[in-house]
Structure 1
C-alpha cells in the first residue's frame, strides 16, 4: 500500500490513475509521495518515509532540490505536458503587442455609453493601428518543449524565425521546422529580431539574462515576451527601456510591482498553463511518474537525480539505491551482495553531477541485515527494496 498527499488541488483525471493500492493522506507526514503545483516547499521538513515529489508543471523553483537530493527524495516535473497551453498564450501575447488590442478594448469600454459609438470608433481606431506578424523576425531563446512549438507555429504565421539553444535535445531537434534559422549566439537574436521570446529554465546563469547589456543590443521598438520565469528579465532594466522607448512592448505572464502599470507593458496574471487541458495533462504525467518510481523504481523526468529505467519489475526483488556519485560505490554495493551469496540478475547505474542511482535485480529475498549493510556504506542516501 502506498500513500500520497496533494499540497495543491490536482486534477481528478490524474488522481484517478492511482489504483486501490494507493491511499490519499490528510498530511504529508505519512506520505510516500507528494504531488504539488505552486505551493512553497522550501520551509517544509520532510518525513523520513517520503520517497518522491512530483510537480504537476515544469518549473520547480518552489521545491528545495538539493535538500531533497541529500535526503534521497526524487523530484519529478512534467515537461511538455502544459506546452501547448503556454504556446497558445505566447502567440496571443505577440498579437496583443502587435495590434494594440488591449488599448482598443479599453477605449470601447470607456465610450460604451456614447450614443454614436460606431461613428466615434471610425475616428478613434487609427490610434490603435498596429502591425502584422507575417514577415517579422522572431527570436526564440530556448528550444525545449514550449520553444519548439512557438517556433513552429510562428513559421506558419509567416514569420522569419531564429532559434538559439546550445543544449537542444535530439528529440527537440527532430521536431523543429527546417525553416528555422539556428543562431550560434544569443546576441544574433538580440540584433536581428523584431520579437524575442524566452523559454529557458530559471538557473543561476540565466537569472537576469535579459538585462541592460542585452537590451542595448536589441533593435529599437523590439517586443520582448517572457512566459518562462520572472527572474529571467531584469525588471529595472526593462522598465527603463520601456520608458525610454527602446523596447516597444514587454509581454509577461508574471505580475510584479515593478512592471505592473508601466506604459508599454502587457502584464498577464500567470495564465500560461491555466487551461483545463494543461492541468489534466500535468496531473496524469505526474501520477504516472510517481507510480513507475514507487512500483518499479524507474526514474523519468527527474530534476535532481538521473533518469534511469529498468522496465517493469518481474519476479524476485529490486534494490534501488540513491547515493552520492563517488568512486568505488558500485564495488561496495556488489560486495555486500556477494558476501551474502546473492545473485544479481540485472543491474544499471546512472549519474547526474554529484548524485547517482543504482538499480539491482536479485533473485532471492533481501534480508533486513543486507538493507542495513547497504545503507551503512558512506555516500548512500536511501535504500529501497521493491518486492
Structure 2
C-alpha cells in the first residue's frame, strides 16, 4: 500500500509506516489542487499539514484513497463532508502540540511586554539603547484568552504560574482552570485585558473575527497575539492600530496567506513594524511535538487500515475495539438507518459464522459496525454483506495473530 506524506512531516511518521510495510513517498512541500489530482491515484494514505487543501474535486478523483492524516491540530484545510461522502476516514493530532504552542505564547508575552524584539534588533544594528521606556513586567497584568479549548486552557494554567491574572471568553461552556474568570462577552474581555491571545478554530464564522471594531475595543496600549488561524485577523487593521499606538505590540504565528514551501517569499503589512514578532507558523514546530504528532497520526492511519479502528476520527463514527488473537474482522460503513445491524447478524447467523465481539457507532448519516468472528469469512458471506441496500464500504481483515 502507498502512503504520500507532504509538508516535511517528521521522519518518525515515515519510519512508523515503513515498518508496517507501506511504500512511503515523503515530499517537503504542499501540493495544489491540480497537483493532488495527478498525485493521488494509487495512493491509499495521505499525510498533510496546514498548507495542503484537500477539496471535494480532489477527493472525487482519488478512488484509491482510504484515509487522510492531518499531522497538526486543525482540519479546516480538509473538506470533511466531501471526505465522508467519499468514504475516506480523517484523523488528526488534537493534543500533541498543545504544550509547544503554549510555550511560544508565553515567550511572546514576555518579549512583547519587555520590547525585547526592538532591543535585540538595535543591538545587531550597533545601537546601545539602554532604556526602560515601554518595558513592563507581566506579573499582575491581565491576560485575555479568546477560545478556551485545549491550548487556551493550558495557557491559562501556565500564565497564572507567572503571576498573570487570566480572563477568558468562549462560545462553548468551558470549565475555568485555577483562578481564571469567564467573561460574559468578548467585549467585556477586551475592556480589561492587557494582553489578548487568540485561540479559536478555523470554522468559517471566525473569518475576519478580529478587525477594526474589536481592535478599537481593546485597552489602549494592549498587546495582541494570534497563534490560531491566520484568516481570523485583519492584518491591515492591526497595522493601522500599531502605527497609531493604540496597540503596543503584536505577535503572529499564522497569516491569511502563507508561503507553500521552505524559503518562499513572505509578504505581510506587518513587516518592519516595531515590537511586532512574526514567526512562520511554528507554534507546534518543536522537535518533541512533531515527533509525537508523527508517531500518533501515523499510528492512527495504520490502525485504521490494519484493524478498522476509527478511534479519534474527525469524520467517521468512532469504533476501536481490541482484537481477539486469531479472529478475523469485518467492518461495515453504512447509512445510519434502523435494521442494518440486525441484517448483518442475520446473514452471519445463516452462514453459521460465530461472532466473538461486535461494536457499533453512528455519526450523522453514517454508521460503522466492527465485528470479530472465528475463522476467515467466505466470499459468499462477504458478497451478501456487500450487496445489502445500505452498505457503503465493506472490508474483511484477515485473522489477527
Mapped to 1, the partners of 2:87 and 2:196 lie a distance apart of 39
Q: TM-score, normalised by structure 1?
A: 0.84
Give the match for residue 91 of structure 1. 106
**Which runs of no fewer than 5 residues in structure 2 stay unpaired?**
26-38, 258-266
Report the secondary structure of 1:318's partner residue.
Answer: strand
Q: Is the 8 A contact 1:101 1:128 kept in 2?
A: no
Alpha-carbon spacing, 1:216–1:20, altered in 2? closer, same or farther (3 Å): closer
Q: Which residue of 1 aligns with 2:260?
A: none
Q: Distance in 2 between matches of 1:200 and 1:23?
A: 35
Q: CA RMSD in A?
A: 2.8
Per the TM alignment, residue 323 of structure 1 is displaced from its structure 2 partner at its CA by 3.2
- The whole-number CA distance in structure 1 between the counterparts of 2:188 and 2:358 is 46
1:117-266 map, 5 Å: 121=128, 124-126=129-131, 129-167=134-172, 177-255=177-255, 257-261=267-271, 263=273, 265-266=276-277
Gaps of 5+ in 1: none
2:382 to 340, 361, 371: 371
SS in 2 for 1:125: coil
Contact 1:103 1:128 (8 Å CA) reproduced: no
CA contact (8 A) 1:307 1:350 kept: yes
CA, structure 1 residues 18+261, in 2 after alignment: closer, same or farther (shift >3 Å)? closer
Once the 2 structures are TM-superposed, how far is the Cα of residue 28 of structure 1 from its aligned partner?
4.4
Residue 359 of structure 1 aligns to a residue in which SS?
Answer: strand
User: CA contact under 8 A between 1:143 and 1:168: conserved in structure 2?
Assistant: no
Residues 164, 386 of structure 1: alpha-carbon distance in 2 compared, 3 angstrom cutoff: farther
Conservation of the 8 A alpha-carbon contact between 1:337 and 1:370: yes
Distance (Å, rounded) in 2 between the aligned partners of 1:213 and 1:358: 49
Q: Residues 323 and 372 of structure 2 are in contact (CA less than 8 Å); yes or no, is this contact kept in structure 1?
A: no
How far the C-alpha of 1:61 sits from its partner, in A, is: 3.1
Residue 190 of structure 1 deviates from its aligned partner by: 2.2
**Which of these residues, 318, 323, 327, is aligned with residue 312 of structure 1?**
323
Q: Hey, what's the Cα distance between the residues in 2 that align with 1:325 and 1:381?
A: 10
CA pair 207-350 structure 1, distance change in 2 beyond 3 A: farther
2: CA distance between counterparts of 1:18 and 1:213?
48
| Comparing 23-32 and 78-87, the one that deviates more | 23-32
Structure 1 CA distance for aligned equivalents of residues 350 and 192 of structure 2: 65
Q: 1:127–1:41: structure 2 CA closer, same or farther, 3 Å change rule?
A: same
- Distance of 2:191 and 2:198 partners within structure 1: 15
- Hey, what does 1:6 align to over in structure 2? 5
Aligned residues: 371
1:76 aligns with 2:91: yes
**Gap change, CA 1:258 and 1:12, over 3 Å in 2:** closer
How far 1:166 sits from its partner (Å)?
Answer: 4.7
TM-score of the aligned structures, taking structure 2 as reference length: 0.81
Query: Residues 17 and 158 from structure 1, CA distance in 2 versus in 1: closer, same or farther, beyond 3 angstroms?
Result: same
Q: Alignment partner of 2:206: what SS?
A: coil
Offset, 1:338: 4.5
User: Residues 250 and 327 (structure 1 numbering): CA distance in 2 closer, same or farther, change over 3 Å?
Assistant: farther
Measure, in 2, the Cα distance between the counterparts of 1:62 and 1:96. 31
Deviates more, 1:32-41 or 1:334-343: 334-343
Cα gap change, 1:157 to 1:70, in 2 (>3 Å): same
Residues 108, 48 of structure 1: alpha-carbon distance in 2 compared, 3 angstrom cutoff: same
Find the counterpart in structure 1 of residue 44 from structure 2. Answer: 32
How far 1:75 moved relative to its partner? 0.7
Residue 72 of structure 1: how far off its partner (Å)? 1.0
- Asked whether the equivalents of residues 235 and 270 of structure 2 are also in contact (C-alpha less than 8 Å), the reply is no
